[in-house]
Every structure is written in structure tokens, then in C-alpha cells.
Amino acid sequence: MGNIQHILNSSKYDSVRSILEIAGSLGEKEKIEIYVVGGFVRDLLMEKPINDIDLMTVGEGIPFAETLADELGRKKVVPFKKFGTALIPGNDIQIEVATARKETYQGNSRKPSEIIYTDLEGDLVRRDFTINAMAMNITPSHFGDLTDPYGGISDIHKKIIKTPLDPNETFSEDPLRMMRAAYFASKLGFKIDESCRKSIKQQISRLGIVSSERIRDEFIKILKTDKPSIGLVILQKTGLMEIVFPEIHVMYGMDQTAEWHHKDIFAHTLQVVDNSAKLSDKMELRFAALVHDIAKPITRRVDKKKGYTFHGHDAIGEKMIDAVAKRMKLSNDLRDYLKKLTLLHLRPIALVKDIVTDSAVRRLMVAAGKDLKDLMILCRADITTKNPKRVKRYLKNFEKVEEKMSNVTEKDEMVAFQSPVRGDEIMAICELREGQKVGVIKKAIEEAILEGLIDNTHSDALDYLIKIKDNYLK
């Protein structure tokens, strides 16, 4: 089917080519058929950066991986004996060696019930999409020879996601592939073949056999793409979003006041996510953009003068994040981050008014803490109006907010703010044991600093403690 060795001649693939040549020579020496497969071949054909090498052997892969690691001077090999695979970690390039295999499944599980070792063709047919069902021979005599039985190259040129087999069989066998279709479409900017789309709609219920963790991981991979809205729209239009993220699904078709936002809440939300992706590579921030208006559907009311209102959607949204985090099994750190940015996303713009005090600025800075920068990025991303004059005005307002923040001399201290007088000092001076009253006094000192009554110094805080302590010791 042709030879693609010439693509590897590019200097950007020097390290990759060196590994493949060593692996290929070793395969020839060991009399083992060896290929590089899957995403590696796809990315090579698209001339994308490569950090992972997927090798496939016709014959036992784990012993080969151990020998290859020795040849490469890598000390660690992680075997997965059940699947006949092994991982060779590396700082720059990670290598996975897998034995050619095909799998059988039972209807109530996406985990294979039986693994049968096979040949090249048997291995490729089990793969998820045609663009991932290609192999390149790396033995010296056939280096670069391409095997493409299902038209992967053609589908790359057409920018389309298709399955090697009937999509009903492919998605039923491993329902997570439906999520992966959305991910690859988002990552590569491809469209999903119509027969695959229809099949996804028919197979939606099969997603129930997939663990929350695996669904979460694939969802997060979509958020990490350059334009996450592509994958998110696919999830919505195929019906997957209703299962994966029902709080986002209900936003679809729900209008907002046109003066401030374009289209419906769903479209606005996706635009904020894409804007965040342009401003930051941080996945957590993109997730915050997705959920910042999560409570709008349940807080939407009609005001005769203002149109649609969403009073309290920031505070209610913060509370809703707990249920999302529990269902998707998010880490506590991610949960708390999402709650914070959802609660605070309206606060910065409220500081635009000239009469806003330094105290109000300090309070926001303390509330946002180390995530202040991310909060400001989210607020900028939240500008989705199509009116250029309004965009210019909004951006100018944010510059005012940032200027107000820079004018707060204690900025760096405020970001990680707490009372300069610690609990043990309060207990010693007030002759108190550890307890609630110590916290109350400490809070009073912090409030005095935030209100600008005293400077954020140990001496001022200590003087203030001596001044107020009797009020709390009565």
C-alpha cells in the first residue's frame, strides 16, 4: 500500500526514527514481525508532533519490550500480562509494545472476556476508527511499508471519522468509542461519518456499562483540544451529553437576553469554553468556563423590562458543582476550583464603578486567592457579544478592574491572606485555650485589615488585638 519512510526523514522526527530503527533491527534479529501502529501512523501521516510510539508484535510483546528497553538504555518496563502489553516509560518519548490480538466481549461489560493473539490483520480490524487502523512495518528490509486495509489515509484526506467494521458492532463492543469519536473529531477538526452518528444515537444506552472515571477522562480530553466546542456539540447532537453532563444538556435551546449574550445558554457557554481555550492551556479553567453558568436554566425568570434574568445563578451554581463532582468522580481540588470560579465569576465586573472601595477589591482578591488570574481570564472569556463597540467597552472595564487591583499595595499579601497574628499568640495574650473564640478574634483582625482600618503588618495586628480583646473576653 505504499511506503511512508520519507515522512520520517524530517529532522523533527530524528529521535522517533532512531527508536524505530533500533526496534526494527531487534525484531529482525529476534525473527519477530514488528510494526508501529494506530495513532502514531495517523499523526505521522498528518505530520504532527509525536511523543508516544505504539509498537505491535506478531509474537510475544512483553519479552520483546524488555529486550528493547535494554537496547535503548531504559531501566524500567511496566508489563500488563493479561493483555500481552508492556510500557517503556521515557522523559520525551513513551513506548508501548503490544502483542497482536483480538478481543471478544460480553454484553454487560466493555472489558474483554477473551483475548486471542492473532496476526496483523486480526489486530487492525479490532481498532476503533479507520484512521487508527493502519500499521507501518519497521523491519529494515520493509521499513516504512504501510498497511491500510480500511482506507485510513483516504479518511484523513476527507477529514472524516469512520469505523473499520459496522459501527453498531464497533460501538456496542466498546461504548466508550462513542466518546472517543467526539474527541477525535474535536482534536483533529474532522466530521463523524453519518452512519456512525446514527449508530451512536442508537447505542447511547450502552454507555451505562462504562465507568464514570473512563467517561470523565474522555470528556476531559475533549476539553483539552484546541476547540472543545466541536466535541461538545457532537455530544449534544448525538444525545450523549444528556447522559454524560445533563446540566449542560438542558442549556440547549434556552434563550437569553440578546442584548448581552448571543443565541442560547448552550451556545454562549460553548463560546466561553472556546474563548478560554484561546487564552489558556489549563484544562481546569476550560472546565470552569463550561460550568460557570450551570445554574442559569433553573434560575431563569422573565422580567418585563430587562427580559430574562438569572438572579443568584452564581451562588446556586456553586452548590450544584458538588453533585457534578460526585457523579463524575472529580478530585477535591478540581471540585473546589470549579466552585470558587463559578461563585466569583460575576464579582470582578462589579468592581468597575468608581466608588468601589479598596476594601471590596481586597475582599475579591482574598476570595479568589491563587486563582485570581484564572478568574480574570474566565471573565474575559465570558464576553461573547457580537457587538464590537460593546466588546471594546467591556475590555476597557476589565482594565479598570485590574488597575484597581494593582493599586492595592498589599496585593501579593492579599492573595495568600491570613491574619499576621496567629492563633497561638491570640491564646497566649488572651489566656484562652484552643477553641471557637480564638477563631472569632482572628477573623475580627482579618476584617479590620480588609476594611483598611489597620495595615497588614504584625505590629498593627497585635496592637489591634490588644485593643479589642476585652470585647471578646466578657
Is residue 201 included in any domain, yes or no? yes
Q: Does 59 lie in the same domain as 12?
A: yes
Q: Tell me, what's the pLDDT at 105? A: 53
Spatial distance between the Cα atoms of 215 and 104, rounded to a whole number of angstroms: 21
Cα–Cα nearest to 207, from 173, 236, 166, 234: 173
Query: For position 392, which CATH number holds?
Result: 1.10.3210
The confidence score (pLDDT) of residue 410 equals 54
The rounded percent of the chain whose pLDDT value lies above 70 is: 92
Maximum average pLDDT range among 101-110, 380-389, 394-403, 424-433? 424-433
The answer to whether residue 251 is domain-embedded is no
Asked whether residue 287 falls in the same domain as residue 309, the answer is yes
Q: Is residue 354 part of a domain?
A: yes
Q: Are residues 117 and 38 part of one domain?
A: yes
Angle of helix 283-291 relative to helix 265-279, nearest 10 degrees, comes to 160
Domain membership of residue 319 as a residue range: 265-414
Among 130, 157, 184, the domain boundary falls at: 157
Residues 298 and 285 in one domain: yes
Residues 143 and 20 in one domain: yes
Q: Residue 197 has what pLDDT?
A: 96
What is the CATH number for 199? Answer: 1.10.110.30
Domain count of the fold of the chain: 4
Q: Is residue 51 located within the same domain as residue 84?
A: yes
The per-residue pLDDT for range 289-317, each reduced to its tens digit, is: 999 999 999 988 877 666 777 788 999 99
Domain co-membership, 341 together with 292: yes
Lowest pLDDT segment from 178-187, 252-261, 335-344, 389-398: 252-261
121: which residues sit within 8 A by CB, 6+ positions away?
149
The pTM assigned to this predicted structure is 0.84
pLDDT at residue 49, as a whole number = 92
* SS3 assignment for 232-269: HHHHHHHCHHHHHCHHHHCCCCCECCCCCCCCEHHHHH
In this prediction, residue 369 carries a pLDDT of 87
Residues 196 and 298 in one domain: no
The rounded distance, in Å, linking the Cα atoms of 320 and 235 is 21
User: 82: pLDDT confidence band, cut at 50, 70 and 90?
Assistant: confident
- Closest by CA to 368, choosing from 402, 388, 345, is 345
Examine the pLDDT at 236 and tell me if it is beyond 90: yes
- Residue 309's alpha-carbon distances to 256, 260, 270, 300, 305, in angstroms, are 8, 11, 20, 6, 10
Please say if the pLDDT value at position 45 is more than 90.
yes
Residue 221: band (very low, low, confident or very high) from pLDDT cuts 50, 70, 90: very high
4 touches 122 (CB < 8 A): no
Q: Rounded mean pLDDT of 306-333?
A: 91
Q: Is there a domain that residue 253 lies in? A: no
Judging by beta carbons within 10 Å of its beta carbon (0-12, 13-18, 19+), is residue 2 exposed, middle or buried?
A: exposed
**Which pLDDT score, from 0 to 100, does residue 414 have?**
63
Q: Which of 149, 107, 142, 108 is nearest to 126 (CA)?
A: 149
Question: Across the chain, what does the average pLDDT equal?
Answer: 88
pLDDT for residue 331: 96
- Alpha carbon 366 to its chain's center: 26
C-alpha R_g of the chain: 28
pLDDT at 20: 96
Claim to verify: residue 110 and residue 181 sit in the same structural domain: no
Q: Where among 121, 136, 157 does a domain terminate? A: 157
Average the pLDDT over 87-95 and give the result: 91
Q: Model confidence at 91, in pLDDT bands (50, 70, 90)?
A: confident
Strands 191-192 and 112-117: unpaired
Q: Is residue 103 within 8 Å of residue 116, measured between CB atoms? A: yes
pLDDT digits (tens, 9 = 90+) for 15-39: 999 999 999 999 999 899 999 999 9
Dump pLDDT digits (tens) for 369-419: 899 999 999 999 988 777 777 778 878 877 888 888 877 755 556 666 777
pLDDT of residue 111: 62
pLDDT-based confidence at residue 104 (cuts at 50, 70, 90): low
- Are 26 and 104 contained in the same domain? yes
What pLDDT is recorded for position 113? 47
Give the tens place of pLDDT for each residue, 52-77: 999 999 888 899 999 999 999 998 99
> Is 257 within the bounds of a domain?
no
Q: Give phi and psi for 417, each to the nearest 5.
A: -75, 135
| Residue ending a domain, choose from 102, 127, 157 | 157
Enumerate the H helices of 351-474 as residue ranges: 358-368, 372-381, 388-406, 411-415, 423-430, 436-450, 458-472
